[in-house]
Amino acid sequence: MIKKSDSNFILFIIVAIFLLWSLSYISLTNIQANRKVKLPAVENKISAKSPNNSTEHSKPSGTKESSIMKASRSNTEQQLLEPSDISSKIQTILALRKQASQEGIQRLAEFVEDSSTVVQTEAIDALGNIALNSNQTNSVFRILKAKATDTNFASRGQALITASMLERDSLILPVIENYISESQEEQIGYAVKAMSFIETPNCIPLLQKVLEVNDDNNIERNAFIILGKINTPEAKTIIRDAVFSIDADTQLNSTWAISRLNNDEYIPILIDAIEQDELYKDALGSIATSLAAPKVFGTLFQREDIHRERKVGWQKIFAQNLAGTPRNLQEQISEATERFVPPLPTSNTETPQEIESDTKEQMDSDNPEENESQKNYTYKNLASVFNDPDPYERRSAWLVYKRYADFSDPADLEKIRQATENADPVIREDAKKILAKIAN
C-alpha cells in the first residue's frame, strides 16, 4: 500500500519530468525555426546546381537578382586586380634581370608574350640587360630577333632596337631593311633608331633608302647624324650633296645634323655652302644656333675677301636667333667674330636697308679718321632702339652699341644700367654681365 507521502513524491517527479520535456520541446522548436529561415537559400543553391530538380524548387526571382549582382561584383573585382597583376609581373621581371640563366631567360620570354605592352617592353629591356652583361647574348638575340620579325607583335620595334645593341649586325641589318621597305613612318623610325646602335658603313645603303622614302624631318636628321658618325668618304659625299641640295628641308636637316656634331671634318662643308650663298635662311639659322657656329662664322667674318654687306646679313641671322642660343654659345660667337665691325646707323630715322647702304659707303672710305669720327658719333644713337618692338632691331642695336660703348663714359654706363631692366631677356641679362665684369 502506497503512503500519501510517497504518492506526493511520485507526482512531483512526474511534474518535473513534464516540465523538462516541455522546455526541451520549445528549444528544439526554436532551433528548427531558425534553420528554416536559412534553408531556402541553401536549397536554392542546391537547386541551381542540380539539373534534376523539379520546377517546384526553382529559384525565386529575388535570389536570381542577387546572383547577377554577385557576378557583376566578381567582374569588377577582376578588373581592379588587373593593375596589381601587371605590377606583380613587373616586380618579377625586375627580379629576373639579375638572373643570367636559361631558366630566367625562359621566364622573361614568357613575359614577352604577355598581352600587356607594358609587360612586353619591360621584359624586352630585361633580356637586353642580361645579354649585355653576361654570356647569354646568343640566346637573347634569337628571342628578340624572332619578336622583331613578328608583324603581329605589338612591341616589335622595341625588340628590334634592343636586338641591335647586341653586336649581331649581319643578322639584324636584313630585319632593319624590311622595316624600311614597309614605307611606314613608325617602322622607319624604329629602323633608324636601331642603326644608331650600329653606325657602320654597312648602314649607308639603308640610310640612303631612308632619305629617299621618308618625309619626317626628325627621322631625316637622325639619319644624317648617323652618316656623320660613320664618317667615311661615301657618307661625307651624301652629306655634302644634301647640304647643297635645292630642297629646303633636306638642306635644313643635313646642316642641322652636322652642325650639332661639330666635327672639324664637316666645318669646311658648312663654310663652303655659306660662302657660295647656297643656303636658305632656315639652314643658316640652324648653324647659327649650333656649337659649330663660332668655328664657321668666326672663319667667315675674318675673311677679308668676303664683302662686308654679306657679313651684315649674317649678323642679322645671329640677332634673329640669339634668344634660342645658350649664353655660353653667345659668348663664344662674340669672341670668334671680334674682328668683324658691325653696321653703324647715321640717324634714328633710317631704315635697316638705308643703314646697310650707308655703312657700306662708310666702311669703303679710305679715310680712317673719317670712319673713326663717324663711329663715335653714331653708336650712341642706338640706345633709343633698345625698346623697339622688333626683336631683330633692338638686339642688333644692342650688339653694336655694346661693342663701341665707352665704359668710362658716365653716359654710356648709364645706358648699360638702364638695359639691365630691359623687357628683352637677352639684352637684360647681357647688360647685367657687362656690369658685373666692370665691377670686377
* CA separation for the pair 350, 89 (Å, rounded): 71
Q: How many CA atoms lie within 13 A of 283 on its CB side?
A: 24
Residue ending a domain, choose from 167, 189, 205: 167
Question: Do the domain assignments include residue 242?
Answer: no
Question: Do the domain assignments include residue 147?
Answer: yes
Provide the domain limits for residue 144.
83-167
CB atoms within 10 A of CB 418: 13
Question: Do the domain assignments include residue 295?
Answer: no
Burial class (CB in 10 A: 0-12, 13-18, 19+), 256: buried
- Cα-Cα-Cα-Cα dihedral sign, residues 412, 414, 415, 420: positive
CB atoms within 10 A of CB 354: 13
The number of residues making up the chain comes to 440
Question: Do the domain assignments include residue 431?
Answer: yes
| Segments of the chain with pLDDT less than 70 | 1-13, 15-84, 319, 321-379, 392
* CA separation for the pair 275, 315 (Å, rounded): 14
**Grid coordinates of 299:** 672663319
Question: Do the domain assignments include residue 259?
Answer: no
Specify whether the CB–CB gap between 420 and 429 falls below 8 A.
no
Within 133-184, where are the H helices? 137-148, 156-164, 169-181
Residue ending a domain, choose from 148, 167, 186: 167
H/E stretch holding 248 reads helix 248-261
Nearest to 291, CA basis, from 325, 265, 321: 325
- Cα-Cα-Cα-Cα dihedral sign, residues 79, 80, 86, 88: negative
Specify whether the CB–CB gap between 164 and 176 falls below 8 A.
yes
Burial class (CB in 10 A: 0-12, 13-18, 19+), 380: middle
- At which residue does the C-alpha cell 653703324 appear? 344
* CA separation for the pair 379, 6 (Å, rounded): 144
Question: Do the domain assignments include residue 92?
Answer: yes
Residue ending a domain, choose from 145, 167, 189: 167
- Residue 8: its pLDDT value, please? 65
- Residue 71: its pLDDT value, please? 45
Overall number of domains in the chain: 2
Mutual angle of helices 4-49 and 61-96, in 10-degree steps = 70
Q: What is the DSSP letter of 367?
A: -
* CA separation for the pair 420, 87 (Å, rounded): 53
Q: How far apart are the first and last CA of the chain?
A: 140
Question: Do the domain assignments include residue 117?
Answer: yes
H/E stretch holding 245 reads none
Question: Do the domain assignments include residue 197?
Answer: no
